[in-house]
Structure 1
């Protein structure tokens, strides 16, 4: 079973205490233009796994710099390995358009490029959002983070959010997962880990694993059907009483002129 185990990765970590019973945060208090969606999971009615726990995590990269020439595996998950590690790799297909690299994989629907320029854009985006919101998160979990909880970043990209959060809250454990391994492999806080996997296929975690699940700017990463599946998976891995924070762009233009209004009226 290719399932993540906190005990194997963070053996010295102390067990976390259940989160206190907060009152649900009303979304009516969140201005739609400036605040992320924050929702507390009050119960876990979706505790049954959406997919088989033996997740199709992909094959190890044959030319991985971390591969073992004798076994074909090391930090990556090889063809005979069922153990999930923080440097496992997938081998998606790519195509090039006007010098930019894109996914060419029927299972990955990310429409933006996947190259060094995109990494730079994502890093800049992280700091812009951090400045715009005045913090890395909006959910009322500061006390929990300071006491020590388990946190998941879905679609972590190059991992800036995880790196910042893991540095700010050393008592908590942070996991980032993304379809591309653009995240740090070695130089990172000891309480952080990065996994490569297609989130649309399911999350490789047991039910009720995380106290706080964070997802940001993933609107163009999933189809409509995949969005429904991903949300169910996020609810499945979030503990009862845990928090889920979603941040997405508002694609509806506001204060438009006549030309823009006419364009979107078509």
Structure 2
């Protein structure tokens, strides 16, 4: 997400529509991707028990202004606007959010969240959320911006996915096809050679963010991990249903990366088809008991 929105040209590649094939954001912006984002939103909400896990009830005063950075298709922002009807909710993304019916208290703007300063005044939000934005692994510049636009004691909310792992392989490691797929994504412009998942370090990012003078930017820092099955292996019917969605999400995710991986000569078309077949087989292999952890982390702006 490094290309200025004003200078981008939507592009077709491998039958998929992308925001800009020269950007480091390697996922499409078409109907198939919006569907993936929808089912991802729904299943995370189902497992977490809501759209957030942070103790927003501890915020002193009314929640009046909420910012969603990298809002994707806008589902979280829209539902939060409905949950907090007295608050103004703003979603920001590289691509416009196309929704016919929006709550009156919700709006979307097109902007690049890697271009600083963010287009908002100091101390203008009570809650700033940023969820599932692994294409921005270095948060050292945006965290101070989040701190700047938050009101005192305002909440920052992060959510990031971890790698799909096997519960049955020694050391709870990745299965072979998912390990191969993640190595390809790490080589793509999406993460520029770095591990795409920052789930294990987002709490530490908040803990280690300092103001001038060395004081911590945030206090009351917390973390919760949820686990999404990938495949219908769980015996519990509800978890098996969640696992079916988890498997579908993964296949759609890698399918979305495919054209960009092929474009950058990281894999051939035949090699990618073979990878997709192996990924599908692993999601159907109940003996692997695949799952994907998602890590919620939050903190409050220190006075």
Same fold (TM over 0.5): yes
List alignment gaps of at least 5 residues for structure 2: 184-303
TM-score by length of 1: 0.57
By relative contact order (CA 8 Å, sep 6+), the higher-ranking structure is 1
Whether the aligned pair in 1 keeps the contact of 2:81 and 2:88 (CA below 8 Å) is: yes
Structure 1 residue 96 and structure 2 residue 12: aligned? yes
Deviation per CA, 1:39-77: give whole Å up to 9, x if none: xxxxxxxxxxxxxxxxx9754xxxxxxxxxxxxxxxxxx
What is the CA-CA distance between 1:209 and the residue it aligns to?
1.2
> 1:176–1:193: 8 Å Cα contact kept in structure 2?
yes
User: Which residue in the other structure is 2:193 paired with?
Assistant: none
Distance in 2, matches of 1:92 and 1:152, equals 24
Task: Return closer, same or farther for 1:201/1:256 CA change in 2, 3 Å cut-off.
Answer: farther
Higher helix fraction (1 or 2):
2
Deviation at 1:112, TM superposition (A): 1.1
Contact 2:94/2:111 (8 A) holds in 1: yes
Cα deviation digits, residues 155-183 of structure 1 (max 9, x gap): 11121111111112111111111110024
Map of 2:109 onto structure 1: 195
1:216 and 2:131 aligned = yes
Question: Pairwise CA RMSD of aligned residues?
Answer: 3.0
- Hey, what's the Cα distance between the residues in 2 that align with 1:217 and 1:103? 17
Residue 249 of structure 1 corresponds to which residue in structure 2?
161
* Aligned counterpart, 1:10: none
C-alpha change, 1:256 and 1:97, in structure 2 (3 Å) is farther
- Who is 1:170 aligned against? 85
Q: Number of residues paired by the alignment?
A: 175
* 2:149 is aligned with 1:237: yes
The CA deviation at 1:95 is 2.9
Name 1:12's counterpart in structure 2.
none
CA distance in 2 between counterparts of 1:183 and 1:109 reads 22
Task: For 1:253 and 1:231, locate their aligned partners in 2 and report how far apart those are by CA, in whole Å.
Answer: 29
The CA deviation at 1:147 is: 3.4
Unmatched tracts of structure 1, length 5 or more: 1-55, 60-90
| Alpha-carbon distance in 1 for matches of 2:35, 2:25 | 17
Structure 2 Cα separation of the partners of residues 143 and 230 of structure 1 = 24
Once the two structures are superposed, the pairs formed by residues 44-193 of structure 1 within 5 Å of their partners are 58-59=5-6, 92-104=8-20, 106=22, 108-142=23-57, 147-184=62-99, 187-193=101-107
Q: Would you say the 8 A contact 1:216–1:247 is kept in 2?
A: yes
C-alpha distance in 2 between matches for 1:154 and 1:145 = 23
Q: Please state how far the C-alpha of 1:261 moved relative to its aligned partner.
A: 6.4
- Distance in 2 (CA, whole Å) between partners of 1:58 and 1:207 is 23
